[in-house]
Structure 1
Amino acid sequence: MRLAFMGTPDFAVPALRALHQAGHDIVTVYSQPPRPAGRGKKLRPSPVQQAAEELGIAVRTPLSLRRNAEEHAHFRNLDLDAAVVAAYGLILPVDMLEAPRRGCLNIHASLLPRWRGAAPIQAAILAGDSESGVTIMQMDAGLDTGAMLLRDHVALTPRTTATTLHDDLAAMGGRLIVEALRQPPHPGTPQPDTGVTYVQRLSREDGRIDWRTPATTIDRQIRALTPWPGTFTVLDGTVIKIGAAEIAPGGTPAAPGTVMDDRLHVACGDGTILRITRLQRPGRGMMEAGDFLRGQAIAPGTRLGMEQPDA
């Protein structure tokens, strides 16, 4: 098929490569413009732009698609069979949605209608869902409201992280979009009215640990928000990032946030306990807990999260 591909982050790259490998004619890739990155703040192309250039595909990086008549006309003139959208990050106007003969197909990282919106991977882990997956959706003017063409699921375990789930769903999305385009055109299955949930964009403040919540909640927060936006607590006025933890057996009457021993068992809400296994001080890399404590001891009885500086 004659396609346009629209995506920006790492999540979209496996789908772009899968479509190229399947022999589709990807005439143009749309991606968000290069952004400043690294210590030198040099402009860095998105992962999708880098992959497209490696494949020899032309890339367009408009700042916006709203009221962009020139871009709308260019898109219509591409004479597309379909456009594939995967975490592009820009809203497509209706005239662009309707321009390809088969419309625009979205690779969405959730089992719609659950977790419409910007951060479905993290939301599934935060909520303690038992499964997640990918839905191939026929896009319409709503926010992730289009008919479902194809989907598949994966079980979530107590050790699933945003990183592992991201990689699983990215690969699944590449496989499903190739399969969806292989099928004859069909209207798809309308999303049910029940079970609809929305998730907003994440901010750094979402990573602040509240030790008054149970250890299971904090464990899900750490697994869902690492590496970004990251979870953190405060130690003696300094922000300490938490990279990994595990729920510890037993209970404690200690106040939430209290470091209980030299192995970084920390009291949480409802008398539960969490053991921090990886953490990071400012200006350093993420460390195993033992290595961290050799450089900066944390005495039992210390209360974490008592001060509230900005992340």
Structure 2
Amino acid sequence: MRLAFMGSPDFAVPALRALHAAGHEIAAVYAQPPRPAGRGQRETPCPVHRAALELGLPVRTPARLRRDAAEHAAFAALDLDVAVVAAYGLILPPAMLDAPRRGCLNIHASLLPRWRGAAPIQAAILHGDAESGITIMRMEEGLDTGPMLLREAVPLGPRATTPGLHDALAALGARLILRALAEWPDPEPQPVEGITYAARLAKADGKLDWTDSAVALDRRVRALNPWPGTYCALDGEALRVLAAAPATLPAGTAPPVPGTVLDAAGLVATGEGALRLLRLQRPGRAPLDADAFLRGTKLPPGTVLG
């Protein structure tokens, strides 16, 4: 099948490699433009761009699509059967959605209609969902509103993290898009009940609010690392909290002020229960397990974290 692949981050790479290995004719790969990265701020291609070059595939990196008539014409000239989209990062205008003979299929990292939008993997963990999954949907103008061809669930264990779920869903998405292209199941409209949205994340979302419950804080740490990262204030600095776990307050403890350090091993009072800090990082320093961190940075009981 003659197709274009449109994606940018690591999540999309397994699908691109699977389509190539399956023998599909990939007429073009679309990816976000190279951007400055690293200490030298060198222009760096995104993961999909790099993978496409390794596979010898032509790459296009338009900065925008919505009103670019020349880009619309170039896309139509590819004479595609279908376009496959996975976390591309640009909105496809109607002229491009309608150009392939069989439309555009999106590999979406949730069980639609739950968690439409930009951050479905993080949202599933942040809200304590029992499962996540992949939906292969036919794209239309609305945000993740199109009819579904395939859905498959992945259970979420009590210690699920964004990196682990990301990798599981990336592999599942690669498998399901091959099946969708082989079988072309009849699309089904999304249910009108249970629609939720996962907004784009910002750095401020990582600030820990110690008045939240220990369970909610633990979910936030597992959901938002490595990006945007979770943090609290210590001595006027942002202390990154890379791993943590809920714990019970010591027996007989009067309800302490949330954010109060309760012992020498990094137990912190929350709005409900306590949170055990497991891995931490100060600005400009290496990440450390809590025991190693606390040998060099004292958090005496009674310290109040911001």
Establish whether TM, by shorter chain, passes 0.5. Answer: yes
The offset of 1:192, in angstroms, is: 0.9
Counterparts of 2:11 and 2:38, CA distance in 1: 20
The offset of 1:250, in angstroms, is: 4.1
Counterparts of 1:37 and 1:156, CA distance in 2: 33
Counterparts of 2:66 and 2:111, CA distance in 1: 28
CA contact (8 A) 1:138 1:147 kept: yes
What does residue 73 of structure 2 align with? 73
What does residue 145 of structure 1 align with? 145
What does residue 33 of structure 1 align with? 33
Counterparts of 2:148 and 2:177, CA distance in 1: 12
- Summarize deviations over 1:200-248 as a string: whole Å, max 9, x none: 1100000000001100000000000000000000011111000000111
**Mapping 1:21-170, distance limit 5 Å:** 21-170=21-170
Tell me the SS of whatever aligns to 2:243: strand
Change (3 A) 1:61 1:261: same
Tell me the SS of whatever aligns to 1:269: coil
Which runs of 5 or more residues in structure 2 are unaligned?
none
Q: Which amino acid aligns with 1:21?
A: A
Counterparts of 1:36 and 1:249, CA distance in 2: 45
CA contact (8 A) 1:102 1:185 kept: no
**Mapping 1:272-291, distance limit 5 Å:** 272-291=273-292
What does residue 263 of structure 1 align with? 265
**Mapping 1:218-233, distance limit 5 Å:** 218-233=217-232
Change (3 A) 1:246 1:137: same
Instruction: Give me the identity figure in percent.
Output: 64
Tell me the SS of whatever aligns to 2:40: coil
Change (3 A) 1:27 1:302: same
Counterparts of 1:275 and 1:183, CA distance in 2: 48
The offset of 1:185, in angstroms, is: 6.0
What does residue 180 of structure 1 align with? 180
Spell out structure 1 runs of 4+ moving beyond 2 A.
249-252
* Equivalent residues, number: 303
- Say what the alpha-carbon RMSD is for the aligned residues: 0.9
The offset of 1:183, in angstroms, is: 0.9
- Summarize deviations over 1:248-294 as a string: whole Å, max 9, x none: 13464111001001110000012x01100000001012110111111
CA contact (8 A) 2:149 2:185 kept: no
Counterparts of 1:8 and 1:217, CA distance in 2: 31
CA contact (8 A) 2:149 2:184 kept: no
